[in-house]
Structure 1
């Protein structure tokens, strides 16, 4: 596959040719100098730790035939090679990648889901509804990308601009009608989805997270809002009106708004809610529809996720019969309030890694549990430090027993992270067990019959990241191993 440089750059205005603008055949696009091969266009992107211009010389040595770099980057190349400077190389990369792959989002319907919590569950539920209605759908998200039925592991919730466009093209080649993708605040801020024409944008909620990157909550919100300000009049904005930030978005998009809520007036509402540890039931109400929906998903937050999925599905003309079948059959997503098999205890693994997510899960388990509620959790290293005491406070409000442990400490000392979490616990006693396996074992050992244990923070992840290594670790597998070691019997 090759494309003329002039074709790739035709939508990029204000570019400056510092060297001769000979037209070249471009066989690939790269922003990572390690991936450059002969015939590549290399786009220099400034990162948090290094400037992209530092890697231009390496890209040239490896065979790049054109360079796009930030303004004022000195040209290290010969007069025969096009060297282009541009004010925003992230934008240039997104547009060039979109052009290189033939604007895939014009040939597949792309649904963007953004918000602090709920994105993964919504993307998977929408895919299930689409499949029930005989549409093929791919997924881009936290757990990975699904092209047809093939799972491709993910490094980021929202992949880089080149990978996003490549995956969209792969989905088209595989016969997919839709791509349902999680759109992170980082992905929006870094223009990874800049050139995508979204069929719909879904907003779940916004609470504290990623302030190590965004600094202020308002910046975090404005990054999320970019998905909706970019929607066309032909798209749909599906907004959660139970969240004040969702209400703000109503006036920030030109797309038609379809709202959903549990506690607020909205186009779609859930009433008559019945919750249990085996699932939920509620009455879905709108001007046109009223139906009872049953689900295996647990908790009010999952009812909100279902409302978002139903709201989108209705905009696509999918009937309530197909929607209800898919919602009833949907068993959930790996690591999202996933139940670990145990004869006498309720053991759940959940990805909750923000104060709001942890509080939501603990609140519902507190309401539905008959015995003690035990929580095991930590916080990731090199990430938002301000949320750590808030996580401790959330645990204190609902749990009877609190065990603080490690959760991807990265370059930080696990003990320092644990103590920061503990600083938010004012009255209840807690235990710090830095070894996550030992912490899970102790939680199960302490649990008696009918007690509930929540192992939070990692969910679907099957690894632990330390300062100098990445090791295999799966909360579900470890919990099962600990149960076997205990003979499936804890002690009170």
Structure 2
């Protein structure tokens, strides 16, 4: 297990049988390797003594403790997270080497691209796995997801389960956090997809440049046997390819590219695109989905699939849950749209899509909030964008986490221009905010509930309470006779 790990110091026997790996000292036991990781909130080194007290066989750490028990092996490494990635891959038999593993990174579109590619591969007859923000899947078996990209131990375990189940392919989202924290280190990818890069996660990365470097780091690590497929229409798209050893491929709706698309129509019934010279009608809506479809098409062709068959299958697929997901009231034909848009760019894309498909008589009522303990700079921008693209706006709580919801809303209100004040209501309670939006809607109007998408909870002061935007919106349609 230490073959690919840089070991600085070693104390105690390391030729011990290993039964499990953990980064949680509470799960430490004989036969278990404990990794002391430095996190944003806690430092695993503080829990080494706890793990040893529970009988852990091996401790992997960056700083050796002052007192080392003779019955425990201590392995000092430059980076515990990187060592964990290599050891986890080895422990589970390097499962990524037995799969056609494709990673999708970018600010928006990761979930949709990974989900569509997974659906496409399964429709083409392959056994395939999925690792996404919404859910993980081993063929048809659904496994709840807790992170966009799981930690290296969980990640390799899931990939190993896919191999054991007979999967030949796996599609996964690769978050910027995952790259920086070495979660994907030691995995072998056959391809990577870049969607776009906009304002997000600056609370973690500090600067936009650091965020860009994190995304680019994924492509820098791809082997020469892989493909790197990037969005040529995004101003950072080509930057992603600058240092990669992989084959450089592009997709575009505007200019020359390996995979060329042209938007013919964006309507309520779907997208009409020309893809590499062939006209295709898709069920998905919105220019942002045109890019997602083009990325998935390109990736499938680069995997060796027949382009005509790929387009035929893609034309019948729907997106991931909570991604521009419509709900229509049978009585008044009010259209509700649930979307995960939680960045300025994503919200603008959704509102632009609604503007393209709405009728002149339809009002757009938008419910939107911003998460707590996250990048605060986008809060006034989100409120301003909501006002620009909507007839009425209800500002509300998203996942406040450990922040005061009223303080978050105050920062959002700062982005509302004087001329827009009359069309904005602020209702901290998200259920009441959705109720108010439905009451404001007349027959045929559009209610956009943005920010949480597929999530089925609301996180307030460390507690996750059940909350599903889709269920609440449906409930309000029925309750209010809409």
TM tier, shorter chain? over 0.9
| Per-residue Cα deviation, 1:100-153 (whole angstroms, up to 9, x for no partner) | 011111111110000000011101111122122211111001012101211111
> Do 2:29 and 2:57's aligned partners in 1 also have CA atoms closer than 8 Å?
no
Query: Which residue does the alignment assign to 2:283?
Result: 296
Change (3 A) 1:347 1:308: same
- From 9, 23, 34, the equivalent of 1:16 is 9
CA distance in 2, matches of 1:431, 1:81: 60
Is 1:38 the counterpart of 2:8? The answer is no
Residue 70 of structure 1: aligned partner: 62
Contact 2:232/2:250 (<8 A) preserved: yes
Change in 2 beyond 3 A, CA 1:69/1:141: same
- 1:194 Cα offset (Å): 0.5
1:229-308 paired onto structure 2 within 5 Å: 229-285=220-276, 290-308=277-295
Distance 2:313 2:225 in 1: 26
Change (3 A) 1:272 1:223: closer
Q: Which residue of 1 aligns with 2:21?
A: 29
1:181 to 169, 172, 180: 172
Contact 1:117/1:204, CA 8 A, preserved across alignment: yes
Structure 1 residue 238: Cα displacement: 0.6
CA gap of 1:481–1:22, structure 2 versus 1, over 3 A, is closer
Please list, as runs of the form range in 1=range in 2, the aligned pairs for 1:380-419 lying within 5 A after superposition.
380-419=371-410
Local SS of the residue matching 1:25: coil
Q: Could you tell me how far apart the structure 2 residues matched to 1:50 and 1:127 are?
A: 35
Once residues 158 and 101 of structure 1 are traced to their aligned partners in structure 2, the CA distance between those partners, rounded to angstroms, is: 17
Of the three residues 324, 332, 343, the one matched with 1:337 is 324
Matched, 1:88 2:82: no
Asked whether the equivalents of residues 97 and 162 of structure 1 are also in contact (C-alpha less than 8 Å), the reply is yes
CA distance in 1, matches of 2:14, 2:306: 54
Deviates more, 1:265-274 or 1:164-173: 265-274
TM-score (norm 2): 0.96
Q: 1:141 to 1:468 in 2, by over 3 A?
A: closer
> For residues 437-471 of structure 1, what are the alpha-carbon distances to aligned partners after superposition, in whole Å with 9 as ceiling and x for unaligned?
11111111111122111100000011111115321
Corresponding position of 2:455: 461
Q: Which range moved further: 217-226 or 125-134?
A: 125-134
1:313 aligned residue? 300
C-alpha separation in 1, matches of 2:462 and 2:14:
46
8 Å CA contact 1:463–1:471 kept in 2: the answer is yes
Range with bigger deviation, 242-251 or 153-162: 242-251
Q: Which residue of 2 aligns with 1:149?
A: 140
| TM alignment of 1:146-225, pairs within 5 A | 146-225=137-216
Give the 4+ runs in structure 1 shifted more than 4 A. Answer: none
Query: Could you tell me how far apart the structure 2 residues matched to 1:22 and 1:182 are?
Result: 34
CA RMSD, Structure 1 to Structure 2 (Å): 1.2
CA distance in 2, matches of 1:116, 1:45: 26
Report the counterpart of residue 431 of structure 1 in structure 2.
425
Unaligned runs of 5+ in 1: 1-7
2:349 is equivalent to residue 357 of structure 1: no
In the alignment, which residue of structure 1 is the partner of 2:356?
367
SS of the residue aligned with 2:336? Answer: strand
CA change 1:470–1:22 in 2 (3 A) is closer
Count of residue pairs brought into register by the alignment: 475
CA–CA separation in structure 2 for the residues paired with 1:241 and 1:173:
37
Aligned equivalents of 1:80, 1:217: Cα separation in 2: 46
Equivalent in the alignment of 2:41:
49
Could you tell me whether the CA contact under 8 Å between 2:60 and 2:76 is conserved in 1? Answer: yes
1:4 is aligned to none
Q: In the superposition, relative to structure 1, how do residues 164 and 468 fare at CA in structure 2: closer, same or farther (>3 Å)?
A: closer
CA contact (8 A) 1:389 1:425 kept: yes
SS of the residue 1:329 aligns to:
coil
- Contact 1:239 / 1:246 at 8 angstroms: preserved in 2? yes
Q: SS at 1:245's partner residue? A: coil
2:238 aligns to what SS in structure 1? helix
